Amino acid sequence: MDNVVSEFISDELHEECGVFGIYDLAGGEVASSIYYGLFALQHRGQESCGIAVSDTNGPKGVVKSCKGMGLVNEVFNPDNLSNLHGNIGVGHVRYSTAGASSVENTQPLVLNYVKGTLALAHNGNLTNAPELKNELSYTGAIFQTTIDSEVIAYHIARERLNTPNVESAVKNAMMKIKGAYSLIVMSPRKLIGARDPFGFRPLVIGKRDNAYVLASETCALDAVSAEFVRDVQPGEIVTIGADGIESDTSLCIQKPARCIFEYIYFARPDSYLDGVSVYNSRIMAGKILAQMHPCEADIVVGVPDSGNVAAMGFSLESGIPYGMGFIKNSYVGRTFIKPKQSVRESSVKIKLNVLKEVVNGKRVVMIDDSIVRGTTSERIVRMLKTAGAKEVHVRISSPPFLNPCYFGTDVPSCDQLIAHNNTVEEICKMLGADSLGYLDGERLSELIAGDSGYCDACFSGRYPVDPPQDDIRGDYDK
């Protein structure tokens, strides 16, 4: 091991959640498919997870669920999975960006009300959740969680009292809630998928034999051998019932605002989001970096995992050889359970090793997806230099973070963003790097084949939806 230098890394960004739903119209059991689907979406949330299932041919409104803190393979085992009988179900993996990290806040939420039972899985953050929660509280609602997803569930349940079917209730609730949401709702006889009109978070439809699948990313469809059918459009509501799939696009708008950072960092590179390969997006980001910030170097290395593909793009464009500079220890999921800043700064998050044989005596281009507070990047640059790198040229496959995100990620407030108060030259010095270059915000659309319907608010400050007056993220329970 003397050719390896070790250091502990923190300061990673997190996606809030991943969602998965399946309805087997032929009556087959679905719990194990949800388990494997969630497993494929584990990168979107590692704090807690859950599955709720029902039998559409059994007594109406009987839902069996199992939820807990931890990774999918920590919460579920053959015993508890075998108790989850049913042919319709929904699953969720969570990282908390609003509401505490606790077992009460795990999803899917299961709600019993006069019309039966609803189970709901939500990815995103509402920007008007406190107002809506107040409104509901004053009319007698009692909340059992501190997450904004419960506000959505309540609204759907209330609307259902005055609407002919559950999809109309979802639509009416969507006209009240604001912000980012990709939803999967299970009613006794239907599975519903809905995406907010801006489409911040992804949601795709798949099919396997007689079963329809809804999932955050296509990699989860692959995991259960379902074929990709199409993306749920921003603003669309899809209803899967005994007669197949129906669509309501009346809430769709002209210009969506998909999260561009899904392509840069959050999503898995083997996924396709809204018709674009995440892998190709990252290759393109690396190529753009090589064009805009070229440098003389001997090797290009990516910071695992999301920096690796962009590093290959940089190598392809520049002709500088690509090398594996780091080994990432993947067995650290439990340490992500406590997301608070105080814990984040003191606890070990990721263990990363530099392969000294790869970088020793070399001029290294180091590609990473972003710099948040700068602590991680500074450590990695130091690790490379300790391992013998002669020069370290840092290239970042996103523009500088200048603003927080209110749409389902934990990009933090301005005072915690190193680029908000420092110039690129100052940041370069703070990192101890020999040069630093970021992706140009003007070229972000090239990552998604020239489409302009994306959100880049954390870089540009152009919020597609008015941000909440107070930063409610993490304080929603107060």
Would you tell me which residues interact with ligand SF4 (CB under 6 A)? 200, 259-261, 405, 407, 409, 411, 455-458
DSSP for 340-401, please give it. -HHHHHHS--EEEEEEHHHHTT-EEEEEES--SSSHHHHHHHHHHHHTT-SEEEEEESSPPP
Q: Is 79 annotated as a binding residue?
A: no
Q: How far is the CB of 255 from ligand SF4 (least distance, A)?
A: 14
Side by side, the strands of the sheet bearing 350-355 are 4-9, 350-355, 326-328
Q: Is the peptide bond before 470 cis (omega within 30 degrees of 0)?
A: no
Task: Kindly list the catalytic residues.
Answer: 17
- Torsions phi, psi for 382 (to 5 deg): -65, -40
Burial of 36 (0-12, 13-18, 19+ CB in 10 A): middle
Q: Is 414 annotated as a binding residue?
A: no
Pair 185, 192: CB distance under 8 Å: yes
Q: How far is the CB of 248 from ligand SF4 (least distance, A)?
A: 24
Distance between CA 211 and CA 186 in Å, rounded? 14
Distance between CA 478 and CA 472 in Å, rounded? 9
Q: Is 455 annotated as a binding residue?
A: yes
Distance between CA 25 and CA 5 in Å, rounded? 54
Q: Is 295 annotated as a binding residue?
A: no
* Residue number, 359 or 447, with CB nearest to ligand SF4: 447
* Residue number, 167 or 410, with CB nearest to ligand SF4: 410
Distance between CA 383 and CA 390 in Å, rounded? 12
Pair 439, 283: CB distance under 8 Å: no
CA 353 to chain centre: 25
Q: How far is the CB of 475 from ligand SF4 (least distance, A)?
A: 18
Q: What is the DSSP pairing of strand 363-368 with strand 299-302?
A: parallel
The residue written with tokens 């990009």 in the block is 411
* Residue number, 371 or 387, with CB nearest to ligand SF4: 371
* Residue number, 180 or 380, with CB nearest to ligand SF4: 180
Q: Which residues contact 305 (CB under 8 A, 6 or more apart)?
A: 328
Q: How far is the CB of 234 from ligand SF4 (least distance, A)?
A: 12
Q: Is 252 annotated as a binding residue?
A: no
Cα–Cα separations (whole angstroms), residue 437 to 90, 291, 367: 42, 11, 10
Q: Is 219 annotated as a binding residue?
A: no
Tell me the longest C-alpha to C-alpha distance in the chain: 71
* Residue number, 193 or 199, with CB nearest to ligand SF4: 199
Q: 3-state class of 430 per DSSP?
A: helix
Distance between CA 413 and CA 401 in Å, rounded? 10
Q: How far is the CB of 400 from ligand SF4 (least distance, A)?
A: 12
Q: How far is the CB of 109 from ligand SF4 (least distance, A)?
A: 23
Q: How far is the CB of 448 from ligand SF4 (least distance, A)?
A: 12
* Residue number, 76 or 263, with CB nearest to ligand SF4: 263
Q: Is 369 annotated as a binding residue?
A: yes
396 strand-pairing partners:
368, 438
Q: How far is the CB of 196 from ligand SF4 (least distance, A)?
A: 11
Distance between CA 121 and CA 150 in Å, rounded? 10
* Residue number, 13 or 66, with CB nearest to ligand SF4: 13
Q: Which residues contact 212 (CB under 8 A, 6 or more apart)?
A: 22, 23, 25, 191, 205, 206, 240, 244, 245
Q: How many CA atoms lie within 13 A of 49 on its CB side?
A: 29
Binding residues for Mg(2+): 306, 368-369
Binding residues: 259, 306, 368-369, 405, 455, 458
Binding residues for [4Fe-4S] cluster: 259, 405, 455, 458
